[in-house]
Amino acid sequence: MGKPGCHLCEAVEQELRSLEGLASRLNFVNIDTNRMLYDKYQLRIPIVTLDGKVVFEASMMDPEGKWKAELSQLLGSHTS
């Protein structure tokens, strides 16, 4: 989940699209179109959910980019 124009959301989306076998199964949700999601996640985006549970959010991102490996590892078993 995220919103247009959010540079963190765009970085996570780009990283997710690079994961082989996962890109075609992605569903990006714009929180600006749903007031309930906006109220719940506005300060936490980008949010990545898996099986209905939040597995990744903005607070997990670091300036060094280590978050990319962590995100890949989190989703690794779901890319095939």
pLDDT tens across 3-55, in order?
A: 999 999 999 999 988 887 776 778 899 999 999 999 999 999 999 988 888 99
pTM (2 d.p.):
0.83
- Taking the C-alpha atoms of residue 73 and residue 79, their distance in angstroms, rounded to an integer, is 10
Q: What is the pLDDT of residue 50?
A: 85
- Label residue 78 by pLDDT band (50, 70, 90): low
CA neighbours closer than 13 Å in the CB half-sphere of residue 68: 12
Q: State the Cα angle at 54 between 24 and 15, rounded to 5°.
A: 40
Q: What is the pLDDT of residue 60?
A: 95
In the DSSP assignment, the letter for residue 15 is H
Helix 7-18 and helix 66-75, axial crossing angle in degrees, nearest 10: 50
**Percent of the chain, pLDDT > 90?**
60
1 in Cβ contact with 47 (< 8 Å): yes
- Label residue 80 by pLDDT band (50, 70, 90): low
